[in-house]
Structure 1
Amino acid sequence: MPHRTTAPLWRALLAAGLVCAVGLLPWLSRTDPALTVLRARSAERDPDPEVLAAIRAQLGLDDGPLRLLGRWLAGLPRGDAGRSWISGDEVMPGVLHALGASLLLMAAALVVAVVTAGLVCARTLRRAGAGAGAVRRGGSGSAVLAALPEFLIASVLATVVGVQLGWLPALGWYGPRWTVLPALALGLPAGAVMGRLLDDLLPGALAEPWARAAVARGLPRRRIARQAVRRCLPGLLPNLGLFVVGLTGGAVAVEQLFDIPGLGRTTLQAALAQDLPVLQAGTLALLLLAALAAGLSRTATHLLVGPALRDGSLPSLHGPTPAPARTPPLVYGCLLLGVLALGLPRDPLALDTGLRLQHPTWAHPFGTDALGRDLLARIAHGALDTLLLALGISAVALVTGVLLGLLPRLSGPLADTLNAVPPVLAALLVTAVAGGGSRTPALAVAVVAWTPLAAHTSALLRQERATLHITASRALGAGRLHLLRRSLLPAVLPPVTRHALLRLPGVALALASLGFLGLGAQPPAPEWGLLLAENQPYAERAPWAVLAPAAVLALLGALAVTAAGGLRAAGQSSSAAR
């Protein structure tokens, strides 16, 4: 019982610390809040000392950050979150309106994500009644979708479906029809990731004794598939809760592109303008949503497998199951190395304005960008820094996620709290504390990259500890350390490692995207995210300028997933050898 009372307290302390850190953001970054507010209100007005003094007096900045924070907190029980420093309007109605828009978009995106995840797993589920030996996991096509950035999918949908075909509106937020395209942009990659995680667990579920008995009795495949999904869901529910919060606060790029007045966009604009009342209220709303999602996830897990977890009567999901990769990772690796070998000898900064937005030719296989620079050269040179840094961050995130996943009482509230912070806001906080520069994106991404891996580790460990062979081992006198080293970690590490590989393209893109926002490397650096963002305005006129870096990123995703399949096969071979 003690941990049930300490967990909410720990969660409340973390949330309070984050809100306080947000409230101290201007002072931590050693900038003048009055000057930032003046520039947000009127960029053309000169920052005269008298004007700045008037703003300080109006906002009470001379009282210091602690008094400002105290007054803001004192108003919350009355439903008063203060007034915006920029517009002067009351904060609470605007934040609630933005939260409503984000929740509606999140619900629509979740529907798309669930359908997408079902399609990813359809091939495995169709063979549910054919026996364990016939089970085959899906190919690497879903990895391509999971690796594509949301803003790129949004841009393509807005340009093709919204503008060229005119089937759906591509701008604004006025009704259900305006929800479709942004929901597709958010839900497709999220569903691909969730589908891959579910597809990774399904073969183990379909190899359990109950599934073999159901096949022997001739039960319908649909019923067996439904029970297999139900069996795997508890291991995915914590990550699903993280997706819910991410689709609400992390949908900044999609909200910007479709002009949606959502919470992510509102929080980003408040952070850039240092509008503290709006920023604090938006952050608090995201934290409350994260706590609600975590509570619902725990409740759903208890409803699905609560008695089995209590009695220690679950079979293990991680026995050896056939899951060969049809396309070897060597093929994708050779293609990626070929791009690097052809592009590295070229100059990524050489300008030729006479060749602006030239289509692919023998001289420029990937075409040129808006300044006439060779895209192949820029993609290849950008891969070195981006991939090496992404690999390093992914390795650190994997180790951190596994270690903290072993301590769910500590890592659960911490992961939920950090996941509620949009990546841009995390980068701004890191910049305020550690300063700007090339290390800022790496630190910001590393701060939050471990959270889904820790949630996955905790969920799988919770189920594995309740399996029959662990219960029998305890009865025979096996100690905690022996069980952890011999049974628990060997069962949990392979799927979590495959999860980390699946997220590698997303880490690479997050690094480059933060650099484009001015929180790291700056143009003309050949960062992959910079290439996508710089060439996005020319997608309709020169689609190759966007498709080339997107294709390489998708290639990285396919390589990551097939490498994960290779790890699974290697683990099965070693298990068979033992």
Structure 2
Amino acid sequence: MADTSAQTGRNVLRDGGTRPTRFRTFWNSFSENRGAVIGLWVFLAFLFVAVFAPLIAPYDPSAQFRDYALQPPVWQDGGAWAFPLGTDALGRDMLSRLIHGARFSFFVGIVVVVVAASGGIIIGLIAGFAPKWLDTLIMRLMDIILAFPSLLLALVLVAVLGPSLLNAMIAIALVLQPHYVRLTRASVLSERGKDYVTASRVAGAGQLRQMFITVLPNCLAPIIVQAALSFSTAILDAAALGFLGMGAQPPTPEWGTMLADAREFVLRAWWVVTFPGIAILVTVLAINLMGDGLRDALDPKLKRS
């Protein structure tokens, strides 16, 4: 019994009481960046609004109150704000449309990131393990795609596929995919020469196992950061395509489409343009701040001094 107690005591002393978990280590590093923490809370607030939009929105986003078209936010009904953020040209409640617009923006961001990251990671892994000629072919193709301005290329793809929210998501995902390919390939090439990969190969692991089990988990940190930044890019590009009439189509309450519908009322109804623009600005800024924090937490070598 005495030996057991002594051994237990030595273990406690050796471990120093408690060891920080990976999540705690990550959170301690992430929380050092105040902007990232603020961005995270803003992002979670918008996510909550997007998920529970039907319960939070005071009206249906397509409901029209024709008697109250273009009412400013200060208009009151019976002492209470019937339309806290005003109404648009068709009498639709701006607050309800903004809340439901968060659903479309987050849906676009999630779909685009999943599609772009999945395809980009697979192609990047193939390029990193492929023979020289195939690697060169893949990377030159990615360079050609990156040579075009991203929004212009997305606009051309949507023009070919047809204007719709689905086609806009496909176009944005294809435009963002080369970034994941290049990032994954660079990470794979830096990991392939390490001892643990050599040991795995000597132990008889096949190439697919090396790619997806051995190497890929050690390449995820920069990919996660890229995914966070791509999320904001997807929201911004979707809003731009919607503003140009090539994304979501009316009466869909998407923020870019709301801006497009409000162009002719800029001078006499400032709220129909201002609030969708602020929603896009705050969301993209919060995600970018969160991405900076993820970069610092997942790769301390890049941490700002």
Are residues 143 and 451 of structure 1, via their aligned partners in 2, closer, same or farther at CA, if it must alter by over 3 Å?
Answer: farther
TM-score scaled by structure 2?
Answer: 0.64
Are residues 425 and 331 of structure 1, via their aligned partners in 2, closer, same or farther at CA, if it must alter by over 3 Å?
Answer: closer
Q: Which of 143, 155, 163 is the matching residue for 1:427? A: 155
State the match for 1:341 in structure 2.
55
State the match for 1:529 in structure 2.
256
Are residues 562 and 489 of structure 1, via their aligned partners in 2, closer, same or farther at CA, if it must alter by over 3 Å?
Answer: same
State the match for 1:473 in structure 2.
199
Matched AA of 2:70 = R
1:40-79 to structure 2, matched below 5 A, reads none
Matched AA of 2:73 = H
Q: CA RMSD in A?
A: 4.2
State the match for 2:15 in structure 1.
none
State the match for 1:138 in structure 2.
33
State the match for 2:246 in structure 1.
519
State the match for 2:23 in structure 1.
none
Shift of 1:377: 1.8
Mapped contact 2:197–2:210 kept (Cα < 8 A) = no
Shift of 1:563: 9.1
Are residues 562 and 331 of structure 1, via their aligned partners in 2, closer, same or farther at CA, if it must alter by over 3 Å?
Answer: farther
Q: Does 1:398 align with 2:117?
A: yes
- Residue by residue over 1:536-566, the C-alpha shift from the partner in whole angstroms, topping out at 9 and shown as x without a partner, is 6666765543442234335544368659978
Are residues 517 and 546 of structure 1, via their aligned partners in 2, closer, same or farther at CA, if it must alter by over 3 Å?
Answer: closer
Unaligned runs of 5+ in 1: 1-131, 145-324, 573-578
**Quick one: distance in 2 between partners of 1:443 and 1:472?**
38
Are residues 475 and 347 of structure 1, via their aligned partners in 2, closer, same or farther at CA, if it must alter by over 3 Å?
Answer: closer
**Quick one: distance in 1 between partners of 2:187 and 2:140?**
17
**Quick one: distance in 2 between partners of 1:133 and 1:380?**
30
Are residues 527 and 360 of structure 1, via their aligned partners in 2, closer, same or farther at CA, if it must alter by over 3 Å?
Answer: farther
State the match for 2:302 in structure 1.
none
Q: Does 1:549 align with 2:276?
A: yes
State the match for 2:87 in structure 1.
368
Identity within the alignment, %: 28
Mapped contact 1:424–1:514 kept (Cα < 8 A) = no
Mapped contact 2:155–2:241 kept (Cα < 8 A) = yes
Greater RCO, 1 or 2 (C-alpha within 8 Å, sep 6+): 2
- Residue by residue over 1:30-74, the C-alpha shift from the partner in whole angstroms, topping out at 9 and shown as x without a partner, is xxxxxxxxxxxxxxxxxxxxxxxxxxxxxxxxxxxxxxxxxxxxx
Shift of 1:525: 3.0
Unaligned runs of 5+ in 2: 1-25, 76-80, 128-134, 300-305
Shift of 1:356: 1.6
Q: Which of 227, 238, 248 is the matching residue for 1:500? A: 227
Are residues 426 and 335 of structure 1, via their aligned partners in 2, closer, same or farther at CA, if it must alter by over 3 Å?
Answer: closer
**Quick one: distance in 1 between partners of 2:51 and 2:124?**
35
**Quick one: distance in 1 between partners of 2:164 and 2:28?**
52
Matched AA of 2:107 = L
Tell me, what secondary structure is at the counterpart of 2:226?
A: helix
Matched AA of 2:186 = A
Shift of 1:497: 3.0
